[in-house]
A and B are shown apart, each in its own frame.
Chain A
């Protein structure tokens, strides 16, 4: 896999992970182009498309699009399930995850992704093992006094789509 992008229906980038070295300028250009292309597609269309010399695999969960770029010989269907497994991991970790969780805890979303995929390849596909790794890390943390999960609407305007659970649509 060359990169993974998470963006909202409004085209806001929520997470970006690059597994190939590219300049910031190039990354921005690719992001702009892909967000536009994917958002323009209709719901029932197929989840794969050719783009430059890569294959794009994407899937929408509630308000969020998950979009991966893979190489010619990579498997599209298994990539769809990579996306799904990542959503499951986020869901399990945050407890019915929604877009707001990813906005406010972006660093956690990155950590979970790193446990699951490394260098663009699946590192550990067992849900249990990935979560175990993350939880162990959480046990190691020390500032126990700031334990709050940001409830939608408390600190931010409540945009309903962003607080919709990704698995609820």
Chain B
């Protein structure tokens, strides 16, 4: 076909494109583009009316510039003009421009919709298709409002051309996806379903996508499609490879349509009608049989198309999960693919087998392929295939093969790709726990995990092993012996030292009878690792030492000497210093009885879902929210070990797992001692949180599981609500909460002691929320500190819609808790009940105050009483960026004072907290220490 005569070349456009291609540098390109933009602008603004061709050419140039990645903010009107041209190519370019550069200007939208309306009623099929393509490409709500009523009519009208029907079906699908509430099929339902019988294969191909989507949402209304789909499928499957003419693709009859039909059937349970079911089973068998036939062509397109149908059929078989015979055949077929020379097929077979593994009928059949899968894990050259193999091993694991699979995964870990190590570690840890018959195997496995992939062992994993050892006394002696041996290695991972320190501190006595692991040997072994460890690990070891003093009085003098050494008692790290001082004092003044009580063995942990499993679920969940994940991980860990402080101390050995904020301080009641984290903990931690959040992206917190509480009582606040709250300490607008159903946005403004908050509840689903209600409460003493009034909210939220609620806030006096927001509604009959904290924090009522250096320091000095001052030293969680810090501090609401502190590295701020009862002036000083990356903060109040 001589392409030379194709299309209508626009010479000016071609010249422009080659000019751009000839540009030697980015700068030259931008220069050329700017020149062109100026030219086009002047043409569009010029007095002389442009002819259609020129308009088309310039609009096309703008499009090209936009597609190169540059912003275009004009030309929309000219494109709209082209829509009403009766020359096809002009119209076409106009539509293309509008589809690509969607604009929300309402006047433009009105004009565009008008042009579309004209084309839809033109009865010219080519124009109608163009208009439908445009609606489908833009798919905006405005378009749905204008056309969702009209398109079903076009779709089912007897005199509509086939090509228009095809466009109408998919156009409607797109509108249904964006605005399901506006697309009402009602009276059209049965006629749409009957499109499955249409003579024209193209119409069926297009319509079935629409029917599948509608069936997922309203299965009952569309259930007649099942028998129609089965008979259509049966006709295709049994047809000879040439029957369908142009719908045969590389000797495979209608592969796209076949896949779509099989996909549609997956929206429903197996057909109840025996005849229909028999016919379908026959189809599935034929498809499986065909897979065994020799290929009709050597082309990869032939086998891809054929196998696409096969995999879709297997998905349906797995979906039904009721035909043992088919399930086993599917499994055997996939087994053959596991060794196929096509990488793509091996990948898909591994993936598909993963779901087969969870069926009771095929689980055993899948297990027979274990050697092949292990081999794939070892030899596949593509990491994404190896990943699938690891997934399958995880899925096929049960008590009978756990030891083998865990061993293989462990040995794979030694060479595994960095990108999948962390996930592999989690999987091994979960399998080891889940299928542990004897816990010594479990302990061995986890310690091996730390040895092989220590860097990838997250805190959850080693917390969990400690949890289990503490809860199971039959394994404690073995664990002590094994960690002792593991620590003999000259270089062992820090996580091993943590586990070792913790376990020997608790259960070292169980192996102390053996002279090779006598108390002093144990202590010396641990202490030999001390200087190579980070601060949190050293803190943990110090706690292990004090436990040793209790367990083995003979080690007392040795350990006291260590604690007394300058490197401990004068350590520059406050936490270490405090521990050394307190433990030394404790060991010398407390009686044996007191010591034994204080340093008693850890009580068992409450049973709960493995935090590792939760982490894996999250890892596999949608979206990448790794920062949040990390933060949460830390917090969970803190709890687990008995309320260690955020971001550092994981070694609350000596306390029980009650939540004491600073274990070491509480231990001795020596609060009057060293000047550390004593006063005003709430203010301090607020500030820490401000900075811990610095740099966290605003993509929002994606909770992957919808709340499942069913009680009518307000649910307890979500576990993540504190974190959600912290996100808003320094900002007033953003997304407060989001899950699969609901998104809550927030906008707020504050003046003096008053605030107003706008909450936006968005229904992310296509189904309406009914009996939607919200209540805002102030728990406990907050009631007398904050006055919160909320206006009632509409009880019904349509799918895809958003409602707004206004909340007025008055600050009566200073407060530290946050008000609670409870939301209840029914979604598809199920009650949803969740509680969040409203981000109202005391700093919202700051009034910034400017002052000179002299004033600032004079006031600073005046605020010297202990209750007027709080100091907090904390590690920066992120690299310190001056601009980010400044933005955070401004977000806090105080005035950032320039040229006040003699040290330019420091930040000082001043503000007045406005409450109804009083006004409280506050000064703040932030001293970043870059070398140690500690950020001490001073905060004074008046």
Contact = CB atoms under 8 A, between A and B. Distances in A.
Interface of A: 13, 16, 19, 21, 24, 28, 42, 44-50, 52-53, 73, 75-78, 80-82, 84-85, 92-95, 101, 103-108, 110-111, 114, 118-129, 133, 136-138, 140-144, 146-150, 155-157
A140 B90 CA distance: 11
Given A108-B6, A118-B133, A149-B4, 18 more contacts: A21-B139, A46-B343, A46-B346, A49-B384, A75-B263, A75-B312, A76-B308, A81-B301, A93-B1, A111-B92, A119-B139, A119-B177, A122-B206, A123-B167, A123-B170, A124-B205, A138-B8, A150-B9
A141 B2 contact: no
Interface of B: 1-11, 14-15, 17-18, 21-22, 53, 60, 63-64, 67, 69, 71, 87-89, 92-93, 96, 126, 129, 132-133, 136-137, 139-140, 163, 166-167, 170-171, 173-174, 177-178, 201-202, 205-206, 209, 246-247, 249, 254-257, 259-260, 263, 266, 301, 304-305, 307-308, 311-312, 315, 343-344, 346-348, 381-382, 384-385, 387, 621-624
A110 B260 CA distance: 24
Nearest to B60: A107
A81 to B, nearest CB: 5
A104 to B, nearest CB: 6
Contacts of A92: 1
Contacts, number: 220
Contacts of B305: 77-78, 81
Given A52-B622, A107-B96, A129-B246, A141 B1 contact: no
B296 to A, nearest CB: 15
29 contacts: A21-B178, A46-B343, A46-B344, A47-B343, A52-B624, A53-B623, A76-B311, A77-B307, A78-B308, A78-B312, A81-B304, A81-B305, A118-B166, A119-B137, A119-B171, A119-B173, A122-B209, A123-B170, A123-B206, A124-B205, A124-B206, A125-B201, A126-B246, A137-B92, A137-B126, A140-B87, A146-B8, A150-B14, A155-B15
Contacts of B307: 77
A106 B247 contact: no
Contacts of B256: 78, 81-82, 122, 125
Contact of B304 (A44, A50, A77, A157): A77
A121 B344 contact: no
Contact of A118 (B136, B385, B624): B136
Contacts of A126: 201-202, 246-247
Given A78-B259, A147-B4, A45 B382 contact: yes
A136 B126 contact: yes
B687 to A, nearest CB: 32
Given A28-B69, A50-B384, A123-B167, A81 B249 contact: yes
B616 to A, nearest CB: 15
Nearest to A85: B249
A157 B173 contact: no
A77 B249 contact: no
A133 B87 CA distance: 16
Nearest to A56: B384
Nearest to A105: B7
A16 B247 CA distance: 27
A48 B384 contact: yes
A135 B623 CA distance: 43
Contact of A45 (B5, B263, B304, B343): B343
B385 A46 contact: yes
Contacts of A13: 67, 69
Nearest to A95: B3
B202 A129 contact: yes
Contact of A119 (B71, B136, B140): B136
Contact of B255 (A52, A73, A81): A81
Contacts of B167: 118, 123
Q: Which of A77, A106, A120 has the most CB atoms of chain B within a 10 A radius of its CB?
A: A77
Given A21-B139, A118-B133, A146-B10, A95 B2 contact: yes
A144 B5 CA distance: 9
Nearest to A143: B8
B259 A75 contact: yes
Nearest to A78: B308
A111 B100 CA distance: 12
B126 A140 contact: yes
Contacts of A142: 8, 87, 89
Complex A-B, nearest 3 residue pairs according to Cβ-Cβ distance, in ascending order = A77-B308, A119-B174, A140-B88
Contacts of B246: 126-129
B383 to A, nearest CB: 9
Contact of A114 (B137, B257, B259, B266): B137
Q: Which of A21, A82, A105, A121 has the most CB atoms of chain B within a 10 A radius of its CB?
A: A121
A103 B69 CA distance: 14
Contact of B263 (A48, A73, A93, A123): A73
B170 A121 contact: yes
A147 B5 contact: yes
B714 to A, nearest CB: 32
Contacts of B259: 75, 78
B166 A77 contact: no
Contacts of A93: 1, 3, 6
A61 B263 CA distance: 29
Contacts of A77: 304-305, 307-308, 311, 344, 348
B96 A110 contact: yes
Given A53-B623, A111-B96, A118-B206, A149 B348 contact: no
A66 B256 CA distance: 19
B828 to A, nearest CB: 20
Contact of B9 (A44, A45, A148): A148
Contacts of B346: 46
A106 B67 contact: yes
Nearest to B101: A24
Contacts of B11: 146, 148
Contact of A125 (B64, B87, B202): B202
Contacts of B6: 93-94, 108, 138, 149
Contacts of A138: 6-8
A160 to B, nearest CB: 14
A93 B387 CA distance: 40
Contacts of B381: 44-45
B87 A107 contact: no
A54 to B, nearest CB: 9
Given A48-B348, A77-B311, A111-B92, A147 B8 contact: yes
Nearest to B168: A118
Nearest to A88: B301
A46 B388 CA distance: 12
Nearest to B88: A140
A126 B200 CA distance: 11
A35 to B, nearest CB: 12
A156 B381 CA distance: 40
Nearest to B212: A121
B170 A118 contact: yes
A124 B67 CA distance: 26
Contact of A107 (B93, B140, B170): B93
A48 B266 CA distance: 23
B169 to A, nearest CB: 8
Contact of A141 (B60, B88, B178, B263): B88
A50 B390 CA distance: 14
Contacts of A16: 67
Given A124-B206, A142-B89, A53 B622 contact: yes
A19 B170 CA distance: 12
Contact of B205 (A111, A125, A133): A125
